[in-house]
Chain A
Amino acid sequence: MNQLQDRLKDAYAAAAGTVGPENIRQLDEQSAVITWPTAKPQRSTRRWAMPLAIAATALAVIAATALPQYLTSRSGNVPASSLGEHFVSALAPGKNLVILKLSTGAKTATVTPPSPLDSFKAAATGNGVRYVVAVARQGRCGTSLYQFRLNSAGKPSRLTPFDGGHVHQKVNQLQLSADGRVFGYLAHRCGTAGADLNIVNLKSGQHRQWTVPGKASISQLSLSGDGGRLTFGASQPDGSDTAVYLLDTASAQGPVVQRSRILVRGAQFGNGEKVEQPRISLNGRIVYFTSDSGSLAHAATQVRSINVRTGHLKVLASTLGAFFTLDADPSVHRAISIIRADLLNPYALVINLRTGRFAKLKPSFYVPDNGTYVW
């Protein structure tokens, strides 16, 4: 029996030896870099600091790439904004797409639709260089897809038709995977209720389509880096019964909610709670989302994450009475941002996925074209 005990100790030591102080997430680096508005009471600040610090470390292993320094936010019902490594695009409602230099806020270019009768409906980028835009023409139900590239000075190339060409539906959400191989879009049917979720493999040309019944509403698509997984938010048309779903983009076609797996429901967190804004990590293992009470009188918002494999939930940040927008860096998928979209004093925090550090961003600038603050 002693020999067995020695073998056991030896085996344990060998397994445990694969973990060392150098390869686990560190906690002590986090606290010092978190800064919060001075208006917050000190006690509250400290209560926030540690959970956030720990949450930050929990995120640290998700991406192995370097991190961006900037991020962007949406406000109101502005259709979309997207982010490049150095430039951000902002859709002016129904009109042009403006490209801004993130470090200064200076406008580097304005992309105009192909025809004066056209307007941009959505934009997406996988790597911050190649952009896909959805263009709709006044009085027609259909969408034309175009693409352009940004050069190092933030100047766009000419609009050229994108692989998908023309879609005989109203496209209002686009996603391009970080590797640029998978393209996803949500399109509402013309003349009838309902919509379709579409995934196109740009390399093989394979096109899959899942139906969205008229009585359901899905939104907020987010593709993993290789396009293998897609998350989306779903609810009843009145906004109730929210849930975050995960779809394997290689799964069989059919009704989308039947082919997908529910990751989390709003009801899990209490009556009337809503889960929204899912964003999937580059490796497709973690999905971030917001949950809120939906009550103006008792507003409370959390940013949470769920491990796709284990179902393990975490609260990354929480606030009372504030409004969060959660956004990922859609061009390079390097960071998750937690943005407080307080109109009087907006600020943003970035979680550095490599180091786990939080950083409060430099003062934002305002994009008058679409009424958006950009960080």
Chain B
Amino acid sequence: MLDSPVSQSGDFVTQLYRAHAVELVRIGLLLLGDQQSAEDVVQDAFLGLHRGLVRLRDPSKALAYLRASVVNGCRSIQRRRSRMSQSDQAAEPPPVWSAETAAIASEDRRAVLAAVASLPQRSREVLAFRYFLGLPDGEIAAALGVSRSTVSSTASRALVTLARKLEENQ
């Protein structure tokens, strides 16, 4: 059991936020496409961490918890978007890699990110954790709640599919 009193938990979470919020928002952005949703997911993850802090046996696992929480939050938003898209209730915001936002200058980068966005959800998650965060497969597996071999095979398949999509689009 974490022995820090509740009165110190806010400080612990605040320190974690300072150290890792940007990285987590960036991951959220890569998975969701827009910063506002990514920030919402990250804020929720920290809120969840604060609520469950007394149950966290090892504080060093907090970051792993946050990563997993961000992934789950992104999945929830994507499910919601999918439902709303089917019922034609709301238009999606243009993702950061669309030409419309003009946030990314290079056309090649936008093409790569657009191709990644068309991959299955787990593939996108694996690629983002591996090639953006540079995490080893073991940590990716912990964040995504899958086995290490699943991470490895998913990454391989995703790269092959991505190469094919980029070639088709050229």
Contact = CB atoms under 8 A, between A and B. Distances in A.
Given A12-B131, A14-B104, A310-B84, A27 B22 contact: no
Nearest to A22: B22
A46 B26 contact: no
A21 B39 CA distance: 12
A15 B37 CA distance: 15
- Identify whether the interface residues of A are mostly helix, strand, loop, or mixed: helix
Interface string B18-47: 100110011001100001111110011011
Contact of B26 (A16, A25, A309): A16
A18 B96 contact: yes
A15 B34 CA distance: 10
B35 A19 contact: yes
Contact of A18 (B80, B81, B103, B128): B103
B50 A58 contact: no
A261 B131 contact: no
Interface stretch (A1-9, A115-123, A124-132): A1-9
A51 interface: yes
Interface string A42-58: 11001101110110011
Interface in B98-116: 103-106, 108-110, 112-113, 116
Q: Which range holds the interface residue count of chain A? A: 35 or more
A22 to B, nearest CB: 9
A5 B14 contact: no
B162 A8 contact: yes
A31 interface: yes
B169 to A, nearest CB: 13
Interface residues of B, number: 53
Contacts of B162: 4, 8
Interface in A213-229: none
B152 interface: no
Contacts, number: 134
B6 A19 contact: no
Contacts of B93: 309
B159 interface: yes
Contact of A28 (B17, B36, B112): B17
Contacts of A9: 131-132
Nearest to B38: A19
Contacts of A49: 10
A21 B22 contact: yes
B9 interface: yes
Given A25-B43, A50-B50, A312-B77, A12 B30 contact: yes
B50 A15 contact: no
Nearest to B15: A28
B90 interface: yes
B46 A47 contact: no
Given A14-B104, A15-B109, A18-B35, A8 B116 contact: yes
Interface of A: 1, 4-5, 7-16, 18-21, 23-28, 31, 42-43, 46-47, 49-51, 53-54, 57-58, 61, 261, 307-312, 314
10 contacts: A11-B113, A12-B30, A14-B109, A16-B29, A16-B30, A24-B35, A28-B17, A43-B6, A46-B7, A51-B50
Given A5-B131, A25-B43, A312-B80, 19 more contacts: A4-B166, A12-B132, A15-B96, A15-B103, A18-B29, A18-B35, A21-B21, A24-B21, A27-B14, A27-B17, A31-B10, A50-B9, A58-B39, A307-B40, A308-B90, A310-B40, A310-B90, A312-B37, A312-B77
